[in-house]
Structure 1
Amino acid sequence: MIQLKDVKKRFGRTNDEILAVDGVSLTIDEGEIFGIIGYSGAGKSTLIRLLNGLETPTTGTIKIGNREISAFTGKELREARQKISMIFQHFNLLWSRTVKQNIAFPLEIAGVKKADRERKVAELIELVGLSGREDAYPSELSGGQKQRVGIARALANDPEVLLCDEATSALDPETTDAILDLLTNINERLGLTIVLITHEMHVIRKICHRVAVMEAGKVVEIGPVLDVFQSPQAPITKRFVSQVTEPAGTDQAIAHLPGGTLIKLVFVGEKTEHPVLASLIRKFDVDVNIVQGNISHTKGGAYGSLILQLLGNENDIDTAIAYLHELGVQTEVIGNE
């Protein structure tokens, strides 16, 4: 559906050049929700602007469907953009227009007849859950309702791709989850390909099928979300994963533990439901203290992590760890005193 091949984007002159996107190659499948995560300055916002033609790559190619959008200009580019919609962090609504007038705006520009516009707007208002708010102005809406208007407006021209630029960053956690649920519903009902950029791993965990991690303009890791959670490779990916798998204060709690062996267990899929801890205590002469535990649910399945302190004879502890490996539980010794 979307293919980027060795895409680079430079800004500035030769002596003062910024390489915002550095040799990115990736493929996004039709109908998937694909996440791009990175901290400020990673290049993710530039990358998403390349996808809708707001920026042109310095080198490399970008294809959406069978169209090489990176080669389009003028009328061809404008027509291609009609199938690539975008929603933004700060909504970008027209404040002098009502909800239904905001949603109708792209249809007016496209020259759609009034009766067809009204029918389409009514369908979209129901789809995004804004029935009864058709005549409200943006100033009368909550943040979540404003974003729902933005989503409806983005869907007005029946796009093939929906780009989400930090679409939930301005929202509280509860509203964020509601908007993410709406995007998941739209993806499933319409088969819409969604590309979502964020700096929050919670967003990736909740709705994305696959994720690309960006740092300094490069994609440093890419894969199914569950695989990335289970075995993050790049240091920055490990930092992002820890946002949702390790509560704040975990490091301090570990630092103050007196002695013993600290291990981290990782459970994936059905293994999150197995009574591994009870079995460990019954089989081995070791004392087990739970330091921290967490289960996260991704679209690919459940992911659980557990940090334990094991106290006892060194040989018994080694045998217990070997037993965990035999069960297929990913086990890592993270401290030994």
Structure 2
Amino acid sequence: MITLSKLAKTFNTRDGKVTAVDQIDLTIEKGEIFGVIGYSGAGKSTLIRMLNMLEVPTTGEVSVAGKNMNTLSQRKLREARQEIGMIFQHFNLLWSRTVAENISFPLEIKGVPSTERKTRVEELIKLVGLNGRGASYPSQLSGGQKQRVGIARALANNPQVLLCDEATSALDPKTTDSILELLIDINKKLNLTIVLITHEMHVIRKICHRVAVMENGRIVEQGPVLDVFRRPKEHMTKEFVKQVTEPEETEEALKHLFTEEGIGHVLQLTFVGGDAKRALITDLIRKFEVTINILQGKLSQTQDGSYGSLFINVTGDEHHIIEAIDYIRKQEVEVEVIHGE
């Protein structure tokens, strides 16, 4: 559906040239929800804006739905953009227009007859859960409702691709979850390809099938979300994964624990899929002469299954502890010894 080849973007500034996107190769499949995560300045906003040529690449090619976006005439580019919807962090609604009129706007530009526009708008209002709000103005809506209008407007022309530029960053956590659930529902109902950028791993965890991690204009790591959660390779990826797999107080609690004498071994166990629901701790206590204290733990759900991280303190004779660790690994549960006497 989307192919990027040697894509790069350089800006000329007073301080010299700045490379925002640096030689990116990427393929996104049809019907997939693909996330791009990175800190501010990583280049992810520039990247997503090059998918519909709001930013023209310095070098490289962008192909969307079989069309080489670089070579299209202005007329063909306008037509191609109608198949690429986009939603934004700050909604970008027309404040003097009602909800229905905002959603209808792309159809008016396209020249769709008024009767067809009205039918389509009604369909979209129902799809995004805004029944009864068609005559309301943006100033009368909550943040989540405004974003639902933005989504409906982006879907007006039946696009094949939906681009989400930090679409939930301005929303509270509960509203964010409701918008993400709406995007998942739309993806399934319409087989819509969704590309979203974010700095929040919670968003990636909840909605995406695959993720790419950006740093300094480059993709430093990518893969299925569950795989990236399970085996993050880059330091920055590990920091993002910690956002959703470890409670905020974990590091502080463990540091405090390490100052105590006779604490034995501190292990981090990583569970994936069905393993996340196993009674592993009970098995360990029954099979081995060790004492186990659970320190911290969290279970997260991704599009492709569960992911759990558990910190435990294990004390006992050294050989019993080693046997217990070996048993855990044989259960295909990943073990990292964070501290050991």
Give the TM-score of the pair, scaled to structure 2.
Answer: 0.97
State whether structure 2 residue 112 is matched by structure 1 residue 112. yes
The alpha carbon displacement at 1:168 in A equals 0.5
Deviation, 1:196, is 0.6
C-alpha deviation, 1:13, in angstroms: 6.1
- Distance in 2 (alpha carbons) for counterparts of 1:268 and 1:167: 28
Could you tell me which residue of structure 2 aligns to residue 185 of structure 1? Answer: 185
Tell me what 1:252 maps to.
Answer: 252
Alignment of 1:289-304 (within 5 A): 289-304=293-308
CA distance in 2, matches of 1:279, 1:194: 42
Alignment correspondent of 2:269: 265
In structure 2, the partner of 1:82 is 82
Post-superposition offset of 1:70: 2.2
1 CA distance for matches of 2:16 and 2:231?
Answer: 38
Find the counterpart in structure 1 of residue 313 from structure 2.
309
Question: Is 1:102 aligned to 2:106, yes or no?
Answer: no
Deviates more, 1:241-250 or 1:257-266: 257-266
Identity %: 60
SS of the residue 2:131 aligns to: coil
What is the one-letter code of the residue matched to 1:288? Answer: I
Please give the alpha-carbon distance, in whole angstroms, between the structure 2 residues aligned to 1:101 and 1:137.
9
Tell me how far 1:58 sits from its aligned partner.
Answer: 1.1
> How far, CA to CA, are the matches of 1:73 and 1:260 in structure 2?
68
Asked if residue 128 in structure 1 is aligned to residue 138 in structure 2, the reply is no
The CA deviation string for residues 236-269 of structure 1, in whole angstroms up to 9 with x for no partner, is 1000000000011111111121221111101111
Change (3 A) 1:8 1:273: same
Q: Which residue of 2 aligns with 1:25?
A: 25
| Aligned counterpart, 1:225 | 225
Q: Show the counterpart of 2:325.
A: 321
The one-character-per-residue Cα deviations of 1:78-119 (angstroms, maximum 9, x if unpaired) are 111111110000000000000000000111111110000000
2:287 to 274, 283, 288: 283
Match of 1:200 in 2: 200
- Say how many residue pairs are matched: 337
> What is the CA RMSD across the aligned residues, in angstroms?
1.1
Q: Matches of 2:256 and 2:3 in 1, distance apart?
A: 49
The Cα of 1:206 is off from its aligned counterpart by 0.5
SS in 1 for 2:338: strand
2-structure distance, mates of 1:228, 1:65:
27
Task: Give structure 1 stretches of 5+ with no counterpart.
Answer: none
TM-score normalized by the length of structure 1: 0.98
Partners of 2:336 and 2:15 in 1: how far apart?
A: 47
Distance 2:307 2:73 in 1: 45
- Give me the whole-angstrom Cα distance separating, in 2, the residues matched to 1:169 and 1:73: 34
